[in-house]
Chain A
Amino acid sequence: MNPPDSKPLEIHDLTVAYHRKPVLYGIDLEIGEGTLTGIIGPNGAGKSTLIKTIMGMVPSNGGWIRIFGKPAKKSFARVGYVPQRESVDWDFPVSVLDVVLMGRYGHVGWLKRVGKKDRSIACECLEKVNMLPFADRQIGKLSGGQQQRVFLARALAQESDLYLMDEPLAGVDAVTEKTIIELLRDLRNQGKTLLVVHHDLSTAKEYFDQLILLNMRLVAVGEVEKTFTRDLLQKTYGGRLTIFTEVAGQSAGVKEYDKETHPS
């Protein structure tokens, strides 16, 4: 049944509703292996909901999701999920290293102890996000950007094939943002597939290979050159286009809009 070259993620006719109010409607998607894909759309477009539905945290009302050719649930072991920073209790009595080690639990048997190898992998992952000096610190005593990097280190430690990230760049400073993007590109170059919810239009074109434009319905999916166009963005952002053009106008990557909307 499942071809060996099955796609990391296939979604067919997915519909999700909260209290009978549709949030996502008829989503059809296919994501190829080794791609870095951004999910963009206005607030309330269902970007986070899409990721949460893939992870089984939100029940779907129709359609199906396949991960590596199998029903989503059966492939979770190959998926690394980076939640929004607000989703966990940062007062929880664990250290940074404890959190990253949790990413290794999938590789450790039920009754076995976490071994030296897992510890050294966890430390390597912390090193990659420049957080090793904080390994013993309680997670509540970190800044927002540092917390985000701990989550990333944990995802790295999972050694997954498909990563789903919910706004990993929200509330981080410019330097951290650069570190994180470098890391995501590294992962892509290793053949991993990444799906990243992104809120900042001005950087979307620069950061991703592919884009998913979402506003309850799927507006477009595909390579940045083909999807980051005025028509499609207008379709995605609808009435908020004026706000969008301001944002886009500031971005060096989308000068053509600047000329069109602000002829000087």
Chain B
Amino acid sequence: MSANRQTKETFIPDFDPIDTFVTPWSTHAEIAWNGQIVTMGILVCLACGLVGSFIVVRKLALMGDAISHGILPGLALAFIIMKSWALFPMFFGACVAGLLCSFCIEWLQKKSILKPDAALGVTFTTFFAFGVLLIAMYGGNAHIDAECLLYGEIGLIPLAESLSLGGVDLGARPIVSMFVVTVLVIISVTVFYRQLMVTSFDFTLAKTLGLPVTLIHYGLMLLLALTIVSSFEAVGVILVISMLIFPSVTANFFFRRMPAILFCSLPLSFVYSIGGFFLARWLDCTIAGAMVLVASLCFALGWAFGPNGGLAWQLLDRLNDKPGNKNARSEGCAVEGQ
């Protein structure tokens, strides 16, 4: 990345449009490097946004939090056994640990007197602590950087080793794996859309329809774990939660049906990734953090101006109180009286 040209005297660096918008795309090397960062950002936001929409409607928003922390012992064990960051053992270990974590949470919720949120807190912190312990005891020479694990460093993604298949260079490993996971997520969400919807909306109906509700639930959890594992190098285990939750809650201010909310993940992922990139460029800060800030900003805008429950519309309704209420009432009565 280019050298830091910001002056450090002011709290907010001066905004230099040329340096922010043009310089990153001025040479081939810059384009290749920054293009990879933005692509990774878009893939992360898209996969997380799609899986996250279902997680949010199932009221499992914090399950993402739990799984993102719960994968740590799996990652650590994979590293200790393989003695290196091999792709498949890492994915395998992390997914098993993530699924085990969600299984333990549900087991505790059902079989103990613990409240659901307490069961969640107890389980994932135990998993996380176990992972930290494993790394401290056996991973002395592991290249596990706690800061990178927690916050991620999407700016260094292009540094990762290249993956090649049959002599063809596919690109940086994290981007390739993220791409594969994103495609998998898109396919699963499209093919099993109905099953995911009905099990999320009405568990009992799903059961009477003969759907394997437990299998579908853990399928979704597996998808969530896969998404988190492939994202955490870029955005870390903490910020990945915001990528899961923000797209769907923001889209919710504009759309009232699930397909629209899912589609919304695509434009939002571009906005988050590109916006975050430029914001980080301007403020000279971590890109992952800037992406989340952009996501928060979009959410705030949605909350303020979104047609579904946005503050501006509520205010407007209140200003036109009488006519609005009259309309609503007469419409309701007309049909009730049929």
Contacts and interface: CB of A to CB of B under 8 A. Distances in A.
Given A77-B209, A94-B257, A133 B335 contact: yes
Interface in A86-137: 87-89, 92-95, 98-99, 102-103, 105-106, 108, 110-111, 114, 130-131, 133-134
A1 interface: no
B209 A143 contact: no
B49 to A, nearest CB: 14
B204 A57 contact: yes
Contact of B57 (A87, A92, A143, A173): A92
Given A94-B201, A110-B195, A138-B257, 19 more contacts: A76-B209, A81-B204, A88-B202, A89-B59, A89-B201, A92-B57, A93-B57, A93-B261, A94-B258, A98-B197, A102-B194, A106-B208, A106-B209, A106-B210, A130-B338, A138-B256, A143-B336, A145-B336, A175-B337
Contact of A88 (B201, B208, B209, B336): B201
Contacts of A134: 335
Interface in A67-88: 76-77, 79-81, 83, 87-88
Contacts of A56: 207
A143 B118 CA distance: 35
A247 to B, nearest CB: 25
A114 B194 contact: yes
18 contacts: A55-B207, A55-B208, A79-B208, A81-B205, A87-B202, A92-B57, A92-B201, A93-B57, A93-B260, A93-B261, A94-B257, A94-B258, A102-B194, A105-B194, A105-B209, A138-B256, A143-B332, A145-B336
Contacts of A114: 194
Contacts of B211: 105
A48 interface: no
B18 interface: no
Interface residues of B, number: 29
A77 B210 contact: yes
Nearest to A133: B335
Query: What DSSP secondary structure best describes chain B's contact surface?
Result: helix
Contacts of A105: 194, 198, 209, 211
Nearest to A97: B257
Interface residues of A, number: 39
Contacts, number: 85
A150 B202 CA distance: 13
Interface string B82-105: 000000000000000000000000
Interface of B: 57, 59, 191, 194-195, 197-198, 200-202, 204-205, 207-211, 252, 255-258, 260-261, 332, 335-338
Q: Output the residue of A55, A76, A93, A110 with the most chain B CB within 10 A.
A: A93
A173 B201 contact: no
Interface string A182-199: 000000000000000000
Nearest to B209: A106
A148 B311 CA distance: 29
Contacts of A176: 336
Given A93-B252, A176-B336, A81 B208 contact: yes
Contacts of A111: 191
Contacts of B335: 130-131, 133-134, 146
A173 B252 CA distance: 31
Contact of B201 (A77, A99, A108): A99
Contacts of A88: 201-202
B57 A83 contact: no
Contacts of A133: 335
